[in-house]
Amino acid sequence: MTTFTVLTSDTPAGPVLELAGDLDDATAPLALQAVKALTPRAGQQVVVDLTGLRFCDSSGISTLIAAHNLAHAADAGIALAGVPRHLTRTLALVGLGDFFVTHPTAAQAQAAWAEPPGE
């Protein structure tokens, strides 16, 4: 069994939620609890860093959608970072391929959010 970890941090650009291990029906409640604890402000961006994610089932995808909804309710943006190839394929298969903005790393997601328009 793979250990599942959830780490959160606050940055000037907004909160970062790092999920690693297997995000499934057993671990999704822990991840959802962390999502609900996020407090993005209007104009910020929530970054969900999935670099260490080994597996994600429908419960995990529901958690990512919950993060999207939380960010938008706060007038904040959301981006996924370090999305594993298997999850990119799954998101595309279920019609969510364009639902999330994605970046290779959390740092790149934060930098892209901080760039002035047109740059």
Fold of the domain built from segment(s) 5-113: Transcription Regulator spoIIAA (3.30.750)
pLDDT in tens, 86-117: 999 999 999 999 999 999 999 999 998 875 44
- The average pLDDT across 39-62 equals 96
Give the residue extent of every domain in the chain: 5-113
Question: What is the predicted pLDDT for the residue at 119?
Answer: 43
Over pLDDT 70: what percentage of the chain?
94
Chain mean pLDDT for the chain? 93
Q: Map the chain to HEC letters.
A: CCCCEEEEEEECCEEEEEEEEEECCCCHHHHHHHHHHCCCCCCCEEEEECCCEEEECHHHHHHHHHHHHHHHHCCCEEEEECCCHHHHHHHHHCCCCCCCEEECCHHHHHHHHHCCCCC
| pTM, two decimal places | 0.93
